[in-house]
Structure 1
């Protein structure tokens, strides 16, 4: 009986964490996750409520909604691969166009609808021009985003038809079915209003929502550093870290690692990698370069009382030169031949991981969390050895 309960709890933990990674789920987007979410819906809804999220279900579609708390939304660092504003704007406009679709639609039909919608009076989105190849490519990608979210489903995976429409402007492009349940969850007026017009907070409201904000930060951010909080919130979190540890163990199965600088949620090891944990470092040059840059920068920069490490842009360049002199033979061709690649690779990856903040002058502020990666043990293959 205990084994069965433990397995059920683990499945509920995994489903809740997966919803943080994939907040809109349908049977078509992730059949297994959808089944687990429905199986543990009551428990997952309770976990979500504790952190100020909401779980909405329409038909077979389920969505976790990140409701702003005190006018703010805590979110993980934005990855470099995240969609840009123009692409997101077009995806939202295409979703609005889908409200007029009864069942199926082609990419060419969506293109016509989007052209008319963005040309209407009062619309504040830059007009879409289907005569431009770059704009057709954006529409293709916007439809791809909606397919990833479950709003659209490709009917025929004929890549040639999609290519002909995108590159040549000929043919119907691709055919889609509209999942009206997922569409309704995505375009819900209540959700859009909360996102676009969050309510301002006052000291009383901030105090009342402190527990939710603490849980939200520990779930969403790579770490919660006391120095990043105001004095009242930092002191409250220090006193409540035992309670938050218990809460998060119940919600995720993880533990909270307490350090002098702050707290970090450590999720349990799992053969199936936790969806909210970054797959880093991987066996590629950009990753180990970023790892070694964080280590060298942590040693050469100025440490602040909060545990952060600060370097000027010139100091960062010195660290880059040091790394190239030390390990340059093992770097990729682009890192060896294109100036600035090593620094750009390190900045992109470390920023996405929440380990680095870039200043206006490209100065570095390393998070105290970067110290967890001190003295990395990296085995590099001799570049002079023949490939086998």
Structure 2
């Protein structure tokens, strides 16, 4: 492999590890092989962003160590696991510590029940006699399998369905990957996440470069108005250096605008997705796309770039869109009041394009301007479906 091809593969492996931070041969064999092949370069890329690469056996994890007492992260996805599901994931992982060899979902269920009923445990009790609780445990096991901690050993989905819906049978068989489990439950990682250090002005100055790189990697865009004034000024002056850093680490390009910076990554169908798949061919997506465009035109644009709309102005935009394209909307959008606005707010917030205030006002990111004048082709709802 020539030098340029090797560098590109290392960049793609680094991006793949960002998208899939806990990696084993079972979760993604090709990406795992590339990460191990280029571990030295990937470790160097990670160090520039304040990350840490940890490896136990065949399991590899990219650890997002908090910088200056905070963790930079994109907006929370709408389908992110809830607190109850995550608490069961943690309980299930704790129970996996006591598993040697293979184990059934029914056995894991019993172990989680016993753990949550133990004295001093603050997690709400898990009751396997309740179908919703069994469904949550099934989903918790699926998350651990996606992270490589559990490896499913049985392919019979009916067994899993019978246990989930009726509490009958063993459910499914699993094997615990102890290397991945150790990386997931690493005490030093938990300590870093739960006990962030206090910061002062000197520490903020010392970590500014790392925070700039991480923000460009982790968030949809870095908008100057979202930063403290010293950080914004420093990023404006250093954007050429950050562009070079990100190009070397990812192979991507940094798009510079007056209001901020956006990292545009190269396409790679073999890499786990690092950006949201949007817009898709569904009503909620095109409604959000058109709402962003209309809001950008009807709101008040500030000198720094964001567009502001009051609660009443947002409702007016919704009415305009319904009057314009209402016949093409979904049944819920047509019949359930508030659905159009809720769909738009959920999607645009998840994408980092919108902040909704306590008074239901909108602050639309200047990055939404990238989607100005969308070309949305809708099928005539009166035409027969073929």
Contact (CA 8 Å) 2:54, 2:63: kept in 1 or not?
A: yes
Partner residue, 2:117: 119
Contact (CA 8 Å) 1:14, 1:274: kept in 2 or not?
A: no
Contact (CA 8 Å) 2:19, 2:272: kept in 1 or not?
A: no
- 1:387, distance to aligned residue in structure 2 (A): 2.7
- 1:25, distance to aligned residue in structure 2 (A): 0.7
Partner residue, 1:13: 11
Partner residue, 2:252: 254
Contact (CA 8 Å) 2:8, 2:251: kept in 1 or not?
A: yes
**TM-score of the superposed pair, with normalisation by structure 1:** 0.97
Partner residue, 2:374: 376
Question: For each residue in 1:218-276, what CA deviation from the matched residue of structure 2 results, as whole angstroms up to 9, or x when unmatched?
Answer: 00001111111111111111111010000000000111111111111111244557721
Contact (CA 8 Å) 1:95, 1:183: kept in 2 or not?
A: yes
3-state DSSP of counterpart to 2:355: strand
- Structure 1 residues 290 and 25, CA, compared in 2 at 3 Å: closer, same or farther? same
Contact (CA 8 Å) 2:254, 2:263: kept in 1 or not?
A: yes
- After the TM superposition, list the runs of 4 or more consecutive aligned residues in structure 1 that deviate by more than 3 angstroms: 269-274
Give the distance between the partners of 2:17 and 2:234, measured in 1 at CA: 28
- Structure 1 residues 65 and 281, CA, compared in 2 at 3 Å: closer, same or farther? same
Question: Does residue 320 in structure 1 map to residue 288 in structure 2?
Answer: no
Give the distance between the partners of 2:4 and 2:289, measured in 1 at CA: 36
> Counterparts in 2 of 1:269-288, with a 5 A limit?
269-270=267-268, 272=270, 275-288=273-286
Q: Give RMSD over aligned pairs.
A: 1.3
- Structure 2: 5+ residue runs without aligned partners? none
Contact (CA 8 Å) 2:20, 2:272: kept in 1 or not?
A: no
- 1:333, distance to aligned residue in structure 2 (A): 2.3
3-state DSSP of counterpart to 1:57: strand
Match of 2:54 among 50, 56, 66: 56
Match of 1:162 among 155, 160, 163: 160
- 1:156, distance to aligned residue in structure 2 (A): 0.4
Match of 1:43 among 41, 44, 55: 41
Partner residue, 1:293: 291
Contact (CA 8 Å) 2:327, 2:381: kept in 1 or not?
A: yes
Give the distance between the partners of 1:34 and 1:273, measured in 2 at CA: 11
Give the distance between the partners of 1:209 and 1:38, measured in 2 at CA: 28
Question: For each residue in 1:51-106, what CA deviation from the matched residue of structure 2 results, as whole angstroms up to 9, or x when unmatched?
Answer: 00000111111000000001100001111100001101110111011001111111
Partner residue, 1:195: 193
Match of 1:69 among 60, 67, 70: 67
Partner residue, 2:135: 137
Question: For each residue in 1:203-229, what CA deviation from the matched residue of structure 2 results, as whole angstroms up to 9, or x when unmatched?
Answer: 111111111100000000011111111
Give the distance between the partners of 2:285 and 2:162, measured in 1 at CA: 37
- 1:341, distance to aligned residue in structure 2 (A): 1.6
Partner residue, 2:239: 241
**TM-score of the superposed pair, with normalisation by structure 2:** 0.97
- Structure 1: 5+ residue runs without aligned partners? none
3-state DSSP of counterpart to 1:375: coil
Match of 2:205 among 195, 204, 207: 207
3-state DSSP of counterpart to 2:324: helix
Contact (CA 8 Å) 1:225, 1:262: kept in 2 or not?
A: yes
Aligned residues: 386
